[in-house]
Chain A
Amino acid sequence: MNLAKRGPTRREVLHAIGLMAGTTVLYQAMEALGHAKETQFAGPPNLQGARPGARVVVLGAGLAGMLAAHELAKAGYQVQILEYNNRPGGRNWSLYGGDTYTELGGATQKVGFADGNYLNPGPWRIPYHHRALLHYCKAFGVALEPFIQMNQQALVHSAKAFGGKPMRYRELHADWDGNVAELLSKAIDNRALDSVMTKDDADRLRLALRDWGALDQNFKYTKNYRSSRRRGFERAQGGGVLGEPIPSDVYPFKDILDSGIWRVVSQHMSIDHQHAMFQPVGGMGMIGRGFARQVEGKIKYNQKVTAISQQGGKVTVTHTDTGTGVTGTTEADYCVCTIPLSVLSQIDVDCNPALDAAIKAVPYSNSVKIGLEFKRRFWEEEEAIYGGISFTDREISMISYPSGKLHSDGPAVILGAYTFGPASYKFAGMTPEERIARALDQGSVFHPGRYKEEFIGGATVAWSRVPFTLGCCAMWNEETRKEHYQTLVAVDNRLVLAGEHASYVGCWMEGAILSSLDAVTRLHKRALEA
């Protein structure tokens, strides 16, 4: 393949990226080139004609479990859900003022947030293309509102740039585009692209770069009205005598490079984080409640499952009531099991050895979320930051301003940390009080003089210490996907697994929904053929 002779085709580029970086990056590249599709959802399954009296036991009252129960009940099955917690929703969950939460290890938090304020410990945003989840939110009467993902007025902080001072996302983004446009137009001037473009196309690209990067007539990115229309003015446009705006200085490109702004920009180009995004009005837990309304009376709470048997032409689930300590069994013809693999791998499951191996092959990731309540929305009142996220290279990784009740008075909750990788373990190893103190300390870089001063109280969930999951979500990798995924999702005699772990939309609610719909459709087919 000689790239100099003719431009590489898209296919060649994708192949090369795939070889160099593996499928994850390939998929990202496919997204960028518009090849990736939205998640698969063709509408609710409309299952019908269950054999009279056929029973299904569903393990877990998270979204996957409740949806399975709902769709199977509609098809005519008698359905019983067993749930470990004393509430529906599973990882779909919000902590409100008055709630009490005890993590593994025994630390108990009494959440003191004001009325209506909340922390979403798990999922917190819904991409517009998660059509299945959006469908059921509407069908089940869960009101949604916009989730503001990207906010150019928010801040980007790096210890390695601008002396550690947080900068406006808007300025860094404008300067990144402007500088890249100027450099590329220089490359065209120097005929560096002659081997890959015709003269005509190079001329067109050059003009496009001037528009795209807000370059001046000489194809330079400089301090002027044009660049300030993007990055903001030194003195904003006004009325009367001092109405004339004063342009702002652009930053040196080295500083822009040091800031790592492209990471934030590229994150927002991912199909998972493009606008529009949604959140339920009043907290993510509203989805769990909405689903629970569809299966009212079918959920038995506080049940810890200890064994699943498929002997004797039926399913027998052994479970212990965590309140009374009484152990009992529930029998059914079929079982939809949505228990996270982190827990299921410790339960005695009577199944094909290959499925048993698959259940035990997938570890769980970790993450820590911390909600911080402040006396007032100083970020809105003083800095015009309405929703969105400020990013940092500190352990907390970001702070996210509330998208709900914008422009209101009174206390409000910021997501003060969403940790990944090593920082998750470090934070999870602390006491809740230590986590909150550290998040407050690290996040104060964005709002010095306000963050600590106007703080009221916090709440935190470390997923590795969550009693019902022992982790955040299924951590598949290339090898386990290849070796175990198809086994994990296959119907095993009278048992089928569902949940985000049984999907390729891992860690998202959409994955739980799609997995559940697929599982019940196949289980129903199996039941009718039996």
Chain B
Amino acid sequence: MRIILFAAAALLATPALAQKPAKAPPPPHPGAEVYQNVCQACHMANALGGEGAGKIPALAKNGGLEAAGYPIMVVTGGKGAMPWFRGSLTDTQIADVINYVRSNFGNKYKDKVTPAMVAEQGLPAPRGAEGPR
């Protein structure tokens, strides 16, 4: 009963709220979409990773991200179980997503990665990759 009353109150309140001049939401970080479409498959939406027989490292509050060259190397070339993403992501997407992770999830690194840095420091995609059939 209480829930219904609350819902009714919310409905009544809505028009009043709508009349207030709405502040436009900030545009989403260009790296957020890359993170959602790629990284969170393993590192999770909250960037906390996971642990089973092995571990998927947390990207949240990750001191390893301090030197931007490190994530550039890992995202382009892969590391352990993580495959390389050179070739499937553009240098711009790689720069965007690294910037996104380095400035979110409790990471507060100020310096920015540029596509040019990815082009220069990134590892090349290998040839002849195999996969599920």
| Residues of A participating in the B interface, judged by any CB pair closer than 8 Å | 22-24, 84, 104-106, 272, 304-305, 339, 341-343, 345-347, 360, 363-367, 420-422, 424-429, 462, 464-481, 506-508
Please name the residue on chain B nearest to A473 by beta carbon. B132
- Contact: B54 with A425, CB < 8 Å? no
Q: Please report the C-alpha to C-alpha distance between residue A367 and residue B83 in the assembled complex, in whole angstroms.
A: 13
Which one of A305, A339, A465, A480 lies within 8 Å of B126 (CB-CB)? A480
**Which residues of chain A have C-beta atoms less than 8 A from B56's C-beta?**
104, 470
Whole-angstrom distance from the CB of B128 to the nearest CB of chain A? Answer: 4
**Which residues of chain B have C-beta atoms less than 8 A from A105's C-beta?**
44-45, 50
- Contact: B130 with A506, CB < 8 Å? yes
- Contact: A470 with B129, CB < 8 Å? no
**Which residues of chain B have C-beta atoms less than 8 A from A420's C-beta?**
131-132
Which one of A341, A347, A365 lies within 8 Å of B131 (CB-CB)? A365
- Contact: B127 with A343, CB < 8 Å? no
Task: Tell whether B2 is near chain A: CB-to-CB under 8 Å.
Answer: no
**Which residues of chain B have C-beta atoms less than 8 A from A305's C-beta?**
53
**Which residues of chain B have C-beta atoms less than 8 A from A428's C-beta?**
41-42
- Contact: B81 with A363, CB < 8 Å? yes
Task: Tell whether B51 is near chain A: CB-to-CB under 8 Å.
Answer: yes
Given A365-B83, A422-B88, A507:B127 Cβ within 8 A: no
How many chain-B residues does the 8 Å CB contact rule pick out?
A: 32
Whole-angstrom distance from the CB of B30 to the nearest CB of chain A? Answer: 17
Q: Please report the C-alpha to C-alpha distance between residue A84 and residue B79 in the assembled complex, in whole angstroms.
A: 23
- Contact: A84 with B53, CB < 8 Å? yes
List 30 interface pairs A-B (beta carbons < 8 Å), by A numbering.
Answer: A22-B128, A24-B128, A105-B45, A272-B133, A342-B80, A346-B80, A347-B54, A363-B79, A363-B83, A365-B131, A366-B83, A422-B37, A422-B88, A425-B37, A425-B41, A426-B37, A427-B41, A428-B42, A429-B37, A429-B41, A465-B41, A468-B53, A470-B42, A470-B53, A475-B83, A478-B126, A478-B128, A479-B127, A507-B131, A508-B133
Please name the residue on chain A nearest to B89 by beta carbon. A422
Given A104-B50, A422-B88, A475-B83, A464:B41 Cβ within 8 A: yes
- Contact: B50 with A477, CB < 8 Å? no
Which one of A363, A467, A478 lies within 8 Å of B127 (CB-CB)? A478
In the A-B complex, list the 4 residue pairs whose CB atoms are closest, starting with the nearest: A467-B52, A104-B50, A342-B81, A428-B41
Whole-angstrom distance from the CB of B123 to the nearest CB of chain A? Answer: 11
- Contact: B81 with A345, CB < 8 Å? yes
Given A420-B131, A470-B42, A345:B80 Cβ within 8 A: yes
Given A341-B81, A422-B38, A477-B126, A472:B132 Cβ within 8 A: yes
